[in-house]
Amino acid sequence: MSGVEPVSERRNWLFVGAAAVVLGAVVGGLPLMSGAPGGDDAYYHAMRGQQEARCWRLGVPYPRWYPDLNGGLGGPEPRAYPLIPLALLGLLAAATGDGISAISVGTVLIPVVAALAMMFSLRRRGVGPAFALSVSAGWAAAPYLVVALHERAALAEALALAFLPMALEAMLPPEPLDRRSAVRGAIFLAVLLATQLPVALMTGAVAALCHLASGRRGHAGSLLLAGVVGLGLSAASWVPNVGSVWRLQGEHLVGTGYRWQDNLLPGGNGADAILAGHLTLALAATGVLLVLVLATGSRRARTLAGVGLAAVALSTPLLGWVYRWLPGLAFLQFPWRWLGPAGCLGLMAVGEVDRRAVRAIGLVAFLLPLAVPVAFRWRLAEGPPMRPRDPGSTVARAATRFGVPPLLPSLPAYLPRGVDLSEALASAARAHALVTAVESSSPDRFEFRCESPAGGAVSLSLLADDSWSVEVDNRRVGWSNLDGLVSVPVAPGLHRIVARQSLLPEDVAGLALSLTTVVGILLLSWPSRRRPPLPGS
């Protein structure tokens, strides 16, 4: 009889897992019945997926330059973007043969991942199968997650939120208990860092606040170890991301529509009143859930709820002064991003409330904003696909489905510093009179034929970026930025010019730090052979 219960328990959890997959797929896929994603960020995700898959097809597994962006002048887009979303979108684009299909499939998968991650986290925290299914479905359909996924099409942020429950479970009190659990927390933190930096930074802050509020200061060393190891593991992603803020026009990320002052709720983001209304509803629903837990939960549940309410307050003018006080916090851009971790804390805490009626009221209140049909806005119109095998000009024309110019443009923040795109495109049109591009089989090596009667500086049809190395007639030469393009000096006559993309110092440093951290973890976890005892000891 003793062996029957574990088998029955495993069957219950298998049923919960299968149901979570189905519910997550419904949340992610139902809005696609009215068309492919067409929100604010959908075009950029489709473009990145198509370009990543195209680079893979051309033999570059770790691309740091997308050749078809900006009217064929290229762009250093991958350096500014975390590795996990790039790899996932590239994989889906390669599998489906279309960047737009890739973001559609990703939209279905993200709530599935969210539901499963919450289920595994609640199971480890001792919640029963039946209620774990309800909470997992609630996280897959969390109002802020639905808005991020279906209205904003912020796939990287939504994917990070999907992973969030497992990271929080590994880092919230009483975890991490020792070195082994610290490494486990580090792995989940590294996943978040390689998925989206703001969510990862908010997760670290939330975990630290929960430990301070719980009084478990003895575990501060394990939590710090998890943070340091997590940073090391994911350095190959975030070090180039941070470096790109200085090398590219990163100041655009805190200007115009990205100013945190304009995005505090309620009343913020006036440029899109509907989105602001949906986010305000999500804020109210998350606040109601956290207050219920704070009033009725156990001590540990109240700690989580209290920190969650602090996170909610960070999305409002109440704590707007914190953004001025803490340097770098302005790069969070949208203070309402705190609603993601706050909602996750609330759902994890409600599982520790004993009263079923409170649990049910809390879940219903949390999901009430879904009565507003936010998931069916911004669907993409019919049009051509963005196939990885198509040339850049064809893919650029397909991108007009999103209402963008047919030249695969980067965001201004992702253009190299000192480059004006319209000026560079005009300069490239003039440069074709002297320099002719030779068809290249690689997206990180470009060859040109130049015939200059008088010699002097000639421009290549490549955006000026720090990562270029240039050879003229097999001799390494320096280059300069002329009207946003790579410009090289040549003597009179016919010349062969080759430009190659090379890794930047932050690329090398990130890869080296990640590899060193992995080796360090393996050495520390390698079982040591004990010496035999000495005679007579």
Going from the C-alpha of 216 to that of each of 34, 103, 176, 207, 308, the distances in angstroms are 50, 42, 11, 12, 18
Quick one: pLDDT band at residue 3, thresholds 50, 70, 90?
very low
Residues 354 and 246 in one domain: yes
Most confident of 222-226, 317-321, 339-343: 339-343
3-state helix, strand, coil in the chain (%, to 5): 65, 10, 25
Chain segment 351-368, per-residue pLDDT in tens? 888 888 989 999 999 999
Residues 350 and 478 in one domain: no
Residue with tokens 């997992």: 136
Name which of 11, 88, 3, 79 is nearest 49 in CA terms.
88
Residues 366 and 464 in one domain: no
Residues 188 and 65 in one domain: yes
Q: Is the pLDDT of residue 216 over 70?
A: no
Residues 345 and 434 in one domain: no
333 part of a folded domain: yes
| Per-residue pLDDT at 18 | 95
Q: With contact defined as beta carbons under 8 Å apart, do 235 and 514 qualify?
A: yes
Residues 349 and 467 in one domain: no
Residues 71 and 187 in one domain: yes
Chain segment 40-95, per-residue pLDDT in tens? 799 999 999 999 999 999 999 999 999 999 999 999 999 999 999 999 999 999 99
Residues 195 and 334 in one domain: yes
Domain boundary among 321, 343, 376: 376
Residues 371 and 425 in one domain: no
Name which of 486, 431, 496, 490 is nearest 463 in CA terms.
486
279 part of a folded domain: yes
Most confident of 1-10, 376-385, 466-475: 466-475
Strand 485-490, strand 456-463: pairing: antiparallel
| Per-residue pLDDT at 473 | 93
528 part of a folded domain: no
Residues 135 and 249 in one domain: yes
| Per-residue pLDDT at 200 | 96
130 part of a folded domain: yes
394 part of a folded domain: no
3-state secondary structure of 111: helix
Q: With contact defined as beta carbons under 8 Å apart, do 426 and 396 qualify?
A: no
236 part of a folded domain: yes
Average pLDDT of the segment spanning 325-344: 90
Residues 425 and 364 in one domain: no
Residues 443 and 366 in one domain: no
403 part of a folded domain: no
Chain segment 161-189, per-residue pLDDT in tens? 999 999 999 999 888 888 888 999 999 99
Q: Is the pLDDT of residue 108 over 80?
A: yes
| Per-residue pLDDT at 217 | 60
- As for how many domains the chain has, the answer is 2
DSSP 135: H
Range of the domain at 453: 421-501
**What is the C-alpha separation between 39 and 94, in angstroms, rounded?**
22
**What is the C-alpha separation between 250 and 464, in angstroms, rounded?**
16
What is the pTM assigned to this prediction? 0.93
What percent of the chain has pLDDT above 70?
Answer: 95
Name which of 85, 167, 155 is nearest 118 in CA terms.
167
Quick one: pLDDT band at residue 1, thresholds 50, 70, 90?
very low
What rounded mean pLDDT belongs to the chain?
90
405 part of a folded domain: no
CATH code (residue 457): 2.60.420
